[in-house]
Amino acid sequence: MSHVFPRHTKISPPMAASGDGCYLIDTNGKRYFDGSGGAAVSCLGHSDTDVTEAVKAQLDQLAFAHTSFFTSQPAEDLADLLVEHAPEGIERVYFVSGGSEATESAIKLARQYFVEKGQPQRRHLIARKQSYHGNTIGALSAGGNAWRREQFAPLLLDISHIAPCYEYVLKAEGESAYDYGQRAAQELEDEILRLGEDSVMAFMAEPVVGATSGAVPAVEGYYKRIREICDKYGVLLILDEVMCGMGRTGHLYACEADNVRPDILCIAKGLGAGYQPIGAMLCSGEIYKAIEDGTGFFQHGHTYLAHPCATAAGLAVVKAILGRGLLDRVKDMGEKLQAALVAEFGQHPHVGDIRGRGLFRGIEIVKDRETKEPFDPALGLAGKLKKACFAEGLACYPMAGTRDGKTGDHILLAPPYIMTEEQIPDIIEPLKRAMAQIIPS
Ligand code: PLP
């Protein structure tokens, strides 16, 4: 009997033995194409020697030094590189061990920022429905995904949720995409006014929504309006790029495509590419200065903050993304993958939408293409599809529709940036066979 507490107690997964580029190999020798990079993690594939060598060298040099006593060279170098390429105004990087720690840190930093500024009443966070910001209690409270939240309700109370910018489902008939985006953004202003102008500290959103909705970008103009509203009311803008950042969309930071400047930016997953657990919260110079001029101490810390081996891995990963031309490759391969998905599934009676940016693609499954009505979540189609894909040699991320009935089941694809055009069939063919078994046309 295994003593590991697994993620799903009713499923016994095969044992992963090794990795080879875009493939994972189990102990029986079966190869799986890593179609979602785990969960948008393994952006460089599974055998990148630049990264493994960097981690080994760091281990030989220095495995660990606690941040209450020391900084380390890889942490300094990685922070420099991230800030050099970051959106305007971002000046500091707080390293953590993963995505939930990054978003949790962001929420606490926003709170402490206003306390330091003598505005402790500004403690309300506005986030969006159908979002996921992580699993710690603060991050889970920020997330607006009903089924993930319900067991732990009521969660933190000073958080409310507005509608996401979700063109496929929420744009009205005859409405232009731009007008829809303005209408969606207006919900933020309405909610700020409802709560009281000086009680809101921050708005948090994923530039391209991942796990809950399947690679949903905002429409043009949405984030410009969001930024204007945040500026008007002195509300901080927190962008969660844990899944969509670090090159996944063809930009190092996903928000570049929306031309929006965050006050706080969260990254993880692709930053360590699976070679080490690492995340980061980046913040503006202004926020940092408020802490520096105030108590001088961000009242939040984790033992493994800025771990030397994790930051060494992150440094090698970001250098690889920038130095090997992978951002252009992601854009190019993303378009080829999109074209192949549309060619194969575009006419499927149960595929409502195929979308995304770069190598971050979503396929939305619907019962009825006309009405966009999703299948009953009780059918568990996403789980069945995931299992069938896996049996066919494709590890990918079908996700269940949320229970508010607005989103259908979807498939999230986030393959490694190193995938080739010749490997597109390693996604399409297993998916086609799995779809035929689970959702016949
Ligand atoms: N934020 C977003 C947008 C995510 O997609 C995730 C994980 O999927 C998280 C936060 C939490 O990251 P982690 O699982 O590394 O804690």
Residue 10 belongs to a domain = no
Q: Are 31 and 126 members of one domain?
A: no
Question: What pLDDT digit, counting tens, does each position of 38-84 carry?
Answer: 999 999 999 999 999 999 999 999 999 999 999 999 999 999 999 99
Residue 371 belongs to a domain = yes
Cβ atoms within 10 Å, residue 288: 17
Residue 404: predicted pLDDT: 63
Looking at 130-134, 359-363, 386-390, 407-411, which range is the least confident one?
A: 407-411
Q: Are 65 and 189 members of one domain?
A: yes
- Whole-angstrom Cα distance, residue 98 to residue 240? 12
Contact between 242 and 134 under an 8 Å Cβ cutoff? The reply is: yes
Using the mean position of ligand 1's atoms as its centre, give its distance from the Cα of residue 158 in Å: 21
Q: Is the CB of 104 under 6 A from ligand 1?
A: no
Question: How sure is the predictor about 271, in pLDDT bands with cuts at 50, 70 and 90?
Answer: very high
- Whole-angstrom Cα distance, residue 207 to residue 209? 6
Q: Which residue has the higher pLDDT, 6 or 387?
A: 387
Q: Are 401 and 298 members of one domain?
A: no
Average pLDDT, rounded, for the chain: 95
pTM for the structure as a whole:
0.97
Q: How far is CA 111 from the centre of its chain?
A: 22
Q: Is the CB of 103 under 6 A from ligand 1?
A: yes
- Whole-angstrom Cα distance, residue 246 to residue 252? 5
CATH of the domain at 190: 3.40.640.10
Q: Are 318 and 252 members of one domain?
A: yes
Note if the bond before 154 is cis, omega within 30 degrees. yes
Q: Are 26 and 172 members of one domain?
A: no
Residue 5 belongs to a domain = no
Using the mean position of ligand 1's atoms as its centre, give its distance from the Cα of residue 243 in Å: 6
Do the bridges between strand 124-128 and strand 159-162 make them parallel or antiparallel, or are there none, so unpaired? parallel
Q: What is the 3-state secondary structure (H, E, C) of the chain?
A: CCCCCCCCCCCCCCCEEEEECCEEEECCCCEEEECCHHHHCCCCCCCCHHHHHHHHHHHHHCCCCCCCCCCCHHHHHHHHHHHHCCCCCEEEEEEECCHHHHHHHHHHHHHHHHHHCCCCCCCEEEEECCCCCCCCHHHHHHCCCHHHHHHHCCCCCCEEEECCCCHHHHCCCCCCHHHHHHHHHHHHHHHHHHHCHHHEEEEEECCEECCCCCCEECCCCHHHHHHHHHHHHCCEEEEECCCCCCCCCCCCCHHHHHCCCCCEEEECHHHCECCECCEEEEEEHHHHHHHHHCCCCCCCCCCCCCCHHHHHHHHHHHHHHHHCCHHHHHHHHHHHHHHHHHHHHCCCCCEEEEEEECCEEEEEECCECCCCECCCHHHCHHHHHHHHHHHCCEECEEECCCCCCCCCCEEEECCCCCCCHHHHHHHHHHHHHHHHHHCCC
Question: How sure is the predictor about 12, in pLDDT bands with cuts at 50, 70 and 90?
Answer: confident
Using the mean position of ligand 1's atoms as its centre, give its distance from the Cα of residue 24 in Å: 22
CATH of the domain at 345: 3.90.1150.10
Residue 1 belongs to a domain = no
Domain assignment of residue 24, given as a range: 16-47+329-438
Atom of ligand 1 nearest to the CA of 39: 8
Q: Is the CB of 243 under 6 A from ligand 1?
A: yes
Q: Is the CB of 216 under 6 A from ligand 1?
A: no
Atom of ligand 1 nearest to the CA of 209: 3
Q: Are 180 and 115 members of one domain?
A: yes
Q: Is the CB of 145 under 6 A from ligand 1?
A: no
Q: Which of 90, 82, 85, 128 is nearest to 109 (CA)?
A: 90
Do the bridges between strand 200-205 and strand 236-240 make them parallel or antiparallel, or are there none, so unpaired? parallel
Residue 32 belongs to a domain = yes
Question: What pLDDT digit, counting tens, does each position of 315-346 carry?
Answer: 999 999 999 999 999 999 999 999 999 999 99
Q: What is the dihedral of CA 149, 150, 155, 161, to 10 degrees?
A: 60
Q: Are 404 and 266 members of one domain?
A: no
Where among 271, 294, 323 does a domain terminate? 323
- Whole-angstrom Cα distance, residue 414 to residue 182? 29
Q: Are 197 and 342 members of one domain?
A: no
Where among 302, 323, 344 does a domain terminate? 323
Going by alpha carbons, the residue nearest to atom 15 of ligand 1 is 99
Where among 288, 323, 358 does a domain terminate? 323
Phi, psi of 281 (to 5 degrees): -115, 120
Going by alpha carbons, the residue nearest to atom 1 of ligand 1 is 133
Q: Are 208 and 348 members of one domain?
A: no
Residue 2 belongs to a domain = no
Residue 406: predicted pLDDT: 65
Residue 7 belongs to a domain = no
Residue 146: predicted pLDDT: 79
Total of domains in the chain: 2
Q: Which of 285, 243, 244, 279 is nearest to 262 (CA)?
A: 285
Contact between 138 and 155 under an 8 Å Cβ cutoff? The reply is: no
- Whole-angstrom Cα distance, residue 60 to residue 50? 15
Q: Are 352 and 265 members of one domain?
A: no
Residue 405: predicted pLDDT: 55
- Whole-angstrom Cα distance, residue 145 to residue 212? 7
- Strand-pairing partners, residue 188, are none
Residue 37: predicted pLDDT: 95
Q: Is the CB of 270 under 6 A from ligand 1?
A: no
**Is the complex ipTM higher than 0.90?**
yes
Q: Are 193 and 66 members of one domain?
A: yes
Question: How sure is the predictor about 403, in pLDDT bands with cuts at 50, 70 and 90?
Answer: low
Residue 231 belongs to a domain = yes
Residue 232: predicted pLDDT: 98
Does pLDDT of 402 surpass 70?
Answer: no
Q: Are 75 and 161 members of one domain?
A: yes
- Whole-angstrom Cα distance, residue 100 to residue 135? 6
